[in-house]
Amino acid sequence: MMPKKLSKRLSACLDALSSLSRCADIGTDHAYLPCYAVATGIIDSAIAIDVIDGPLARAKQTIADYGLADKVELRKGSGLKPLEIGEVEGVVFAGMGGKLISQLLLDSLSVAKSLQLLVFAPQGGESILRVTLFENDFAIIDETLLEEDGIIYPIITAKPCTKRREKYSDIDIIFGPVLRQDVDNELFISKWAEEITKIELVLENIPEGNERRVEFMKKKKIIEGVLAGATS
């Protein structure tokens, strides 16, 4: 069977793991990423993990279609819990929000700390994820933005670090310590211009003096400042 072409997001995740030989796909759904990666020789073997029976059945079928039962192992469980330390070198978390990813990392922190690379494609909540990574001594080593189906997504690559790094600033947490270095990037500008629009809509329904209004106003001001620097 010819490998099914991956989405832009999954392709970007796989690119970030291409230096490794054995990886796990968390929340694998159809198992397209691990099957493509092994079938094309990008990695040697993989573990596909999901917690829901429906996706597990789809993944099992994909693995069978590719004839990869000896190289792509399917496991049921939540996050990194089905993994033992040393079984894989890297993992991908795609198709879930940053808050859920953070919780799954914290649930299996010893396994997460044993990995060489962790790649995330969060569907929102990336600031929450960045805070979790910092507070638990993971270094963000790469970030990129891509657009797929009209939505701009971040891809975040991290690794465990042996000593505590300096605390990220609010700007690092909101925009990303790597992404903020390229504020003239068209996708960066588009993403945050859209965020300002969303904040303005929210503010219309929050009364003056409300604490949430203050928080949204603060974030809006930070974004406007960064974008002003990008367009100056």
Where exactly are the structural domains of the chain? 8-171, 186-231
The answer to which of 41-50, 117-126, 157-166 has the lowest mean pLDDT is 157-166
Segment 59-75 shows an average pLDDT of: 96
pLDDT of residue 2: 64
Question: Does pLDDT of 227 surpass 70?
Answer: yes
Question: Does pLDDT of 121 surpass 60?
Answer: yes
Average pLDDT, the chain: 93
Of 4, 3, 56, nearest to 26 (Cα)? Answer: 56
Q: Which residue has the higher pLDDT, 217 or 231?
A: 217
% of the chain beyond a pLDDT of 70: 96
Q: 4 pLDDT band (50/70/90 cuts)?
A: confident
pLDDT of residue 193: 95
Of 170, 181, 109, nearest to 145 (Cα)? Answer: 181
Question: Does pLDDT of 152 surpass 60?
Answer: yes
- Give the ranges where the chain is alpha helix by DSSP (H): 8-17, 32-39, 53-66, 98-107, 109-113, 126-135, 170-175, 186-203, 211-231
Segment 213-221 shows an average pLDDT of: 92
Q: Please name the helix (run of DSSP H) or strand (run of DSSP E) that holds residue 75, with its range, or none.
A: strand 72-76
Q: How would you classify the pairing of strands 151-160 and 117-121? A: antiparallel
Region 8-171: CATH code: 3.40.50.150
Token pair recorded at residue 186: 């068209």
Rounded to an integer, what distance in angstroms lies between the CA atom of residue 68 and that of residue 133?
33
Q: Are 106 and 6 in contact (CB under 8 A)?
A: no
Q: For the chain, what is the total number of helices (H) and then of strands (E)?
A: 9, 7
User: Given the structure tokens 């929340």, which residue do they identify?
Assistant: 27
Q: Are 93 and 104 in contact (CB under 8 A)?
A: yes
**CA neighbours closer than 13 Å in the CB half-sphere of residue 190:** 11
pLDDT of residue 167: 74
Rounded to an integer, what distance in angstroms lies between the CA atom of residue 8 and that of residue 12?
6
Angle of CA points 44, 50, 53, to nearest 5°: 130
Angle of CA points 25, 165, 157, to nearest 5°: 25
Mention every residue, 6+ apart, whose C-beta is less than 8 A from residue 136: 105, 106, 109, 112, 113
Burial of 206 from C-beta contacts in 10 A (0-12 / 13-18 / 19+): middle
Question: Does pLDDT of 127 surpass 90?
Answer: yes
